[in-house]
Amino acid sequence: MANKYVKTDEQIDALISSIDKRGKTVQQDIHTAACAIIRRWHDSSDVSAAVRQMNALLAAIPAMSRANAFKAWVETLLSFVVGMTAVMCQQQCVK
């Protein structure tokens, strides 16, 4: 894919506006997915699914996002250790 060269102030402003809108959408989607995982874990008591899904969500977060802050939130709030397997979590996690 060829790189689009942005040449005018208007194009730059439009690009920034587009990034802002898409960033907010992604942020909301991440929040919704995380809350759904937590709720499903609460309802089902299936920690293995929660660990698998949370690890997948963390892996899916774009590198330039607030991935580190989200990882810290997961570890603090859920007592998950990022990269922990479901078996490890079943042995160590407090629910």
The pTM assigned to this predicted structure is 0.69
Type of residue numbered 54 = M
Q: Is residue 38 part of a domain?
A: yes
| Closest-CA residue to 64 (of 29, 19, 33, 17) | 19
- Dihedral sign, CA of 80, 63, 24, 26? negative
Q: Is residue 4 part of a domain?
A: no
* Full pLDDT tens readout for the chain, 95 residues: 456 788 899 998 999 999 899 988 988 999 999 999 999 999 998 888 998 998 899 888 877 667 788 888 888 887 777 666 655 555 555 44
Q: Is residue 84 part of a domain?
A: yes
Q: Please tell me the total count of domains within the chain.
A: 1
Q: How far is the C-alpha of 57 from the C-alpha of 54, rounded, in Å?
A: 5
| Closest-CA residue to 50 (of 10, 9, 87) | 87
What is the residue range of 56's domain? 9-92
Q: Is residue 1 part of a domain?
A: no
Q: Is residue 2 part of a domain?
A: no
State the pLDDT at residue 35.
94
Q: Is residue 82 part of a domain?
A: yes
